[in-house]
Structure 1
Amino acid sequence: MMNYLQRIGKSLMLPVAVLPAAAILMGIGYWIDPTGWGAGSPVAAFLIKAGSSIIDNMAILFAVGVALGMSKEKDGSAALSGLVAYLVVTTLLSTNTVAMLQGIDVAKVNPAFAKIGNQFIGILSGIIASIMYNRFSHVKLPDALAFFSGKRLVPIMTAVSMLIVSVVLFFVWPVIFTGLVSFGEAISKLGAVGAGLYGFFNRLLIPIGLHHALNSVFWFDVAGINDIGNFWAGKGTKGITGMYQAGFFPVMMFGLPAAALAMYHTAKTTRKKQIASLMMAAGFASFLTGVTEPIEFAFMFLAPALYLVHAILTGLSLMIAALFHWTAGFGFSAGFIDFFLSWRLPLANKPLMLIIQGLVFAVIYYFLFRFLIKKFNIKTPGREDETDDVVLGTQEAETTENRFTQMAATIYEGLGGDENVTSVDNCVTRLRVEVKDMNKVDQAKISSTGVPGIKIVGPTSIQVVIGTNVQFVADEVEKIRRQK
């Protein structure tokens, strides 16, 4: 079950990765016309509307992305089926259709049906479509119906399945919707404390990949909060809308890079050079783009107590930003690029104070991490016992052309090669691998390539944290698998 949920989380990264495009377009548009929301400039209006076309249709992107990511062969017909599924359920359960089915006036229809086109329904549609693809994409029908065999059968079966799902949702969706709204409202009523609790649990769920589920409640329109969409669309209350985003900037831009510096300074002298290259790259990625997994996975499992401290500090950061009503927003993650694009948006409130807060958090992260690491002799990267030391792969002699090829070959060999590996996939920063026998996996060999971390998530499931270059390594692994 956990592995399945993680696959959903990984699949969600495909549509979520589209958000930077919306952020750039809307950010530039608001930069041109920060008060008129495009009313004072045709160019600004053009850019803002182009960006909102992505934000406003995230549910559709979720349906397509999840269907594609969860299908065994990542085939286009699965993505098409995800779209079919979404269109069927949202049409059958639209306010007008429900009014007709119930024989009542449109104004009397349960408000839940006005929100049927949300990310939760998008994800559900994608899951149903992927199930139909995996079940029917290779089915052969009798000759008279041969045209509809295989992949052509998938959208048909998806549509039929969504008829049944729509009937079920007709009765249960109002209950589900009310529960989601109640949960969101319960947190939102806690104000700054609620934002802090959200930040804390957001980080705690990173290791199992379920933070995406939590994010969907607060960032998107699942429970009516839609913090990201409303912030970028200029809909909401200045100083309030964006409170579930703002506190991440001090942590991702300043806190985690400072933690990386602390881990470098506390590393053994013989390991400092290797740790410096790892932490510098990871810290820069965190600051610039808000991609934090290379740093977090570097100490998440080596020092879980330290990771708990990181989660607490993240919650504290969100609570402070919310308490003082400092807001900024992001399209993808809380890095400098998104901060730069969002700080002149209409709902951005004293965003430069987040920089001040970030500098303070950098000091807190650095000295607290350094103190705890030394005080309790925490085995962060570069501090492992000699018997446990893993030699990070030095790549100074490697050329740009063969660096990823050699890394992929070593990782694949460490995973057990063709005899042990059954499937390889990747998300934004991690290789996700299924193996036959976990005992045949050589973690030391994999770690010798310099990867930030390795995580066993099930009896036959293992993740190798690569970083933002994971796609290049995954491509090379796929080449190796095809050649053998």
Structure 2
Amino acid sequence: MNILSYLQKVGRALMVPVATLPAAAILMGVGYWIDPDSWGAGNALAALFIKSGSAIIDNMSVLFAIGVAYGMSKDKDGAAALTGFVGFLVVTTLCSPAAVAMIQKMPVEQVPAAFGKINNQFVGILVGILSAEVYNRFSHVELPKALSFFSGRRLVPILVSFLMILVAFILMYVWPVIFGGLVSFGEHIQKLGSVGAGIYAFFNRLLIPVGLHHALNSVFWFDVAGINDIPNFLGGAQSIEAGKGIVGITGRYQAGFFPIMMFGLPGAALAIYQCARPENRAKVAGIMMAAAFAAFFTGITEPLEFSFMFVAPVLYVIHAFLTGVSVFIAASMHWIAGFGFSAGLVDLVLSSRNPLATHWYMLIPQGIVFFFLYYVVFRFTITKFNLMTPGRELAVSGDESDGYDVNVDTTGDSKETATETLARRYISAVGGSDNLTNIDACITRLRLNVKDAAAVNEGVAKRLGASGVIRLNKQSVQIIVGTQAESIASAMKIVLAKGPVAAASTTAAPVAAPAQPQAVPNAAKGIIATLVAPVTGEVVAIENVPDEAFASKAVGDGLAIQPTDKTVVAPIAGTVVKIFNTNHAFCLETENGIEIVVHMGLDTVALEGKGFKRLVEEGAKVSAGQAVLEMDLDFLNANARSMISPVVVSNIDDFSGVNLLASGHVVAGETKLYEIKG
């Protein structure tokens, strides 16, 4: 995965905590509007709204740690979120001023001020990413029996705790350098006047993703570098009394943000909405309207900025540049207004009464110009470069780690891939979207939950290419479709996201089935391949496998083995075309088109990978007898429904059948299992 794809994955994960921000912005904005003078100090209702909203805003850093860890986890499990929270607590506690003073044996007063800012978005995102990576790698690790309680998901918080000790140790030396460098940089920019104000605003926006903009803000807003000319509601009055307020210069680092927050970003939101795919616009409209209102009314822009910050970085750079231009214009024209919270409508109204405000009303026509500028630039850039802003991607259940591989066509709103078309017809075959309640897949079959299994049209499914339909009970159906099962299942979810699908007519016309790999022609129908046992154990006839899909040979013909050893090997030379993401089964394809499915145990997909370890990756070329999987047989025998393991030719219809060779005990990689006839 390249860096851009990884950042897009981070961007999608960030939408989890960002989704809470519009609520915080609206709550706080209403509170400030109710009590604009004392902001909650003199009004209980205003205080209620402000404190409710600030409970979210003040804890944004830990929300990022939790949300990113959860959003980037491969199975979206709550244990990943807990891991992110644990990691954040360890880092921020160890890097707090009191802890740094104790660890480095110094008085608290001598601890660098940078550690007072360690609780920020940068640390939250960093911890979330690291926690997710540890979770994805170690959440299925099985420890020895004596430590088995700490296996799997319970192991991850322990590992993350130790990792974050190392991270905190590094930050103890790196963080003051980063923070101090930004403060020094800001002090130099302050001397450049209006140009410096524009440069400051540009970097202020660029640093938003990592939360380091606060370091610059401390220079320009809170007098770190001796700047006491910011017209906030208390500091402005104090500046005048002290004789430090200079009309036309004060507030130059804030005024130009009003046209961006109140007008520019809402224009970007409109462009993002109009560029969304038609089927996604209703959802995008709700998100963009709430985010645009929050930006206009309160000046809180994170919900909007994080919606395109990582999925379309070029847009964010453009946004940072335009912010710099806006601040430069306002500072050059001496259109001055300050804010105490953020550059929204509430602060603009309040700023109009500040004695240092100068021509503040000119920021409104400037903002209208920036509304159209943002709209035109964003819409052109999104469409010209086909950027995946919210609503332009096809929503799928999961990401790269989920094991789906669907060829999605994003070049046109009305186009549908061949896999999606086939998936739509399978949905119709099972009674339409009204009858379908859950979709899953396992190597060669669609595992579906339906309201009524009797509504499934087996004839239509077989005309689509299915080799069998198995009704396990009134609500569970399995359709044998071959090794493309996962792709079809993923495409079915995409199709359902677009809208309802009607049930198939009982007189539906035949549909050509997808082409299957063909065996190399053989003049005589002789033996074209011989398989060896993939695992040591006892042979079980395929008809005696306690699973109707295998016993009926709907999945394919062959034999099964009750394993007695942990190593699973390739039964024939070929390419590993698929290893299920839970590592319980794999599929081989030989050079002459034979497709072999090795399925270790029955319903072992429910174990979510526990007890299995892959030794090769998809796409690897293996020789007969080469190790592919390793099993924890004690765990599997205790937890699986059955460890009887079918080894079948899934495209047996392309050949003349099999000659069974083995019975009784077989040895992995040595005993001949069966022959395939040409």
TM-score scaled by length of structure 1: 0.59
Equivalent residue, structure 2, for 1:77: 79
Q: Name which of 255, 264, 270 aligns with 1:252.
A: 264
**What does the per-residue CA deviation read over 1:128-171, in whole Å, with 9 as the maximum and x for residues that have no partner?**
21111111111111222222111111111111111121222222
Change (3 A) 1:87 1:222: farther
Q: Work out whether residues 23 and 53 of structure 2, in 8 Å CA contact, stay in contact via their aligned partners in 1.
A: yes
Equivalent residue, structure 2, for 1:319: 328
**What does the per-residue CA deviation read over 1:211-235, in whole Å, with 9 as the maximum and x for residues that have no partner?**
57557333x56874798xxx9x978
Q: Name which of 161, 165, 168 aligns with 2:167.
A: 165
- Kindly state the Cα deviation for residue 362 of structure 1 after the two structures are TM-superposed: 5.7
Counterpart Cα distance in 1 of 2:101 and 2:318: 51
Counterpart Cα distance in 1 of 2:48 and 2:172: 38
Q: Name which of 211, 219, 235 aligns with 1:216.
A: 211
Kindly indicate whether residue 486 of structure 2 is the aligned counterpart of residue 477 of structure 1: no
Change (3 A) 1:212 1:149: farther
Change (3 A) 1:184 1:362: same
Q: Name which of 36, 48, 51 aligns with 1:49.
A: 51
Equivalent residue, structure 2, for 1:401: none
Name the structure, 1 or 2, with higher relative contact order (CA <8 Å, separation 6+).
1
Counterpart Cα distance in 2 of 1:114 and 1:148: 35
Change (3 A) 1:243 1:156: farther
**What does the per-residue CA deviation read over 1:208-260, in whole Å, with 9 as the maximum and x for residues that have no partner?**
xxx57557333x56874798xxx9x9787694674574231465367669999
Structure 2, gaps ≥5 residues long: 222-229, 238-250, 296-302, 417-490, 502-678
- Kindly state the Cα deviation for residue 58 of structure 1 after the two structures are TM-superposed: 1.5
Q: Work out whether residues 422 and 434 of structure 1, in 8 Å CA contact, stay in contact via their aligned partners in 2.
A: no
Q: Which amino acid aligns with 2:84?
A: G
Q: Work out whether residues 253 and 288 of structure 1, in 8 Å CA contact, stay in contact via their aligned partners in 2.
A: no
Counterpart Cα distance in 2 of 1:8 and 1:18: 17
Q: Which amino acid aligns with 1:164?
A: L
* Higher share in strand: 2
Q: Name which of 23, 26, 35 aligns with 1:24.
A: 26
Counterpart Cα distance in 2 of 1:289 and 1:308: 21
TM-score scaled by length of structure 2: 0.44
Q: Secondary structure at the match of 1:326?
A: coil
Equivalences, count: 373
Q: Work out whether residues 184 and 225 of structure 1, in 8 Å CA contact, stay in contact via their aligned partners in 2.
A: yes
Counterpart Cα distance in 2 of 1:39 and 1:21: 22
Q: Secondary structure at the match of 1:246?
A: helix
- Kindly state the Cα deviation for residue 85 of structure 1 after the two structures are TM-superposed: 0.7
Q: Work out whether residues 67 and 129 of structure 1, in 8 Å CA contact, stay in contact via their aligned partners in 2.
A: yes
- Kindly state the Cα deviation for residue 176 of structure 1 after the two structures are TM-superposed: 2.5
Kindly indicate whether residue 350 of structure 2 is the aligned counterpart of residue 358 of structure 1: no
Report which of the two structures shows the higher radius of gyration computed on alpha carbons. 2
Kindly indicate whether residue 109 of structure 2 is the aligned counterpart of residue 107 of structure 1: yes
- Kindly state the Cα deviation for residue 17 of structure 1 after the two structures are TM-superposed: 3.2
Counterpart Cα distance in 1 of 2:84 and 2:348: 35
- Kindly state the Cα deviation for residue 361 of structure 1 after the two structures are TM-superposed: 4.3
Counterpart Cα distance in 2 of 1:146 and 1:48: 47
Counterpart Cα distance in 1 of 2:207 and 2:494: 27
Q: Which amino acid aligns with 1:12?
A: L
Change (3 A) 1:30 1:55: same
Counterpart Cα distance in 1 of 2:220 and 2:160: 28
Q: Work out whether residues 15 and 65 of structure 1, in 8 Å CA contact, stay in contact via their aligned partners in 2.
A: yes
Q: Which amino acid aligns with 1:65?
A: G
Counterpart Cα distance in 1 of 2:16 and 2:220: 19
Change (3 A) 1:125 1:197: same
Q: Report 1:331-370 matches (<5 A).
A: 339-340=344-345, 342-344=347-349, 352-361=361-370
Change (3 A) 1:186 1:105: same
Q: Work out whether residues 27 and 345 of structure 1, in 8 Å CA contact, stay in contact via their aligned partners in 2.
A: no
Counterpart Cα distance in 2 of 1:447 and 1:184: 50
Counterpart Cα distance in 1 of 2:78 and 2:134: 13
Q: Work out whether residues 252 and 327 of structure 2, in 8 Å CA contact, stay in contact via their aligned partners in 1.
A: no
Counterpart Cα distance in 1 of 2:318 and 2:91: 43
Q: Which amino acid aligns with 2:154?
A: R
Q: Which amino acid aligns with 1:357?
A: Q
Change (3 A) 1:361 1:81: closer
Counterpart Cα distance in 1 of 2:495 and 2:220: 38
Q: Work out whether residues 28 and 44 of structure 1, in 8 Å CA contact, stay in contact via their aligned partners in 2.
A: yes
- Kindly state the Cα deviation for residue 477 of structure 1 after the two structures are TM-superposed: 2.3
Q: Secondary structure at the match of 2:178?
A: helix
Q: Work out whether residues 83 and 160 of structure 2, in 8 Å CA contact, stay in contact via their aligned partners in 1.
A: yes
**What does the per-residue CA deviation read over 1:421-451, in whole Å, with 9 as the maximum and x for residues that have no partner?**
99548xxxxxx999869xx5544444659xx
% identical equivalent positions = 45
Equivalent residue, structure 2, for 1:65: 67
**What does the per-residue CA deviation read over 1:4-35, in whole Å, with 9 as the maximum and x for residues that have no partner?**
23322333333233222222222111111111
Counterpart Cα distance in 2 of 1:246 and 1:149: 53
Q: Report 1:52-451 matches (<5 A).
A: 52-186=54-188, 190=192, 192-197=194-199, 216-218=211-213, 220=214, 224=218, 239=251, 242-243=254-255, 245-249=257-261, 251-252=263-264, 285=289, 288=293, 315-322=324-331, 323-327=334-338, 339-340=344-345, 342-344=347-349, 352-361=361-370, 424=399, 442-446=409-413, 448=415
Q: Which amino acid aligns with 2:264?
A: M
Kindly indicate whether residue 39 of structure 2 is the aligned counterpart of residue 37 of structure 1: yes
Change (3 A) 1:314 1:103: closer
Structure 1, gaps ≥5 residues long: 204-210, 265-273, 385-389, 391-403, 413-420, 426-431, 450-473
Change (3 A) 1:63 1:226: farther
Change (3 A) 1:308 1:152: closer
Which segment drifts farther, 168-177 or 342-351? 342-351
Equivalent residue, structure 2, for 1:270: none
* Higher share in helix: 1
Counterpart Cα distance in 1 of 2:21 and 2:28: 11
Counterpart Cα distance in 2 of 1:148 and 1:64: 21
**What does the per-residue CA deviation read over 1:35-61, in whole Å, with 9 as the maximum and x for residues that have no partner?**
112221122222222222222221111
Q: Work out whether residues 95 and 115 of structure 2, in 8 Å CA contact, stay in contact via their aligned partners in 1.
A: yes
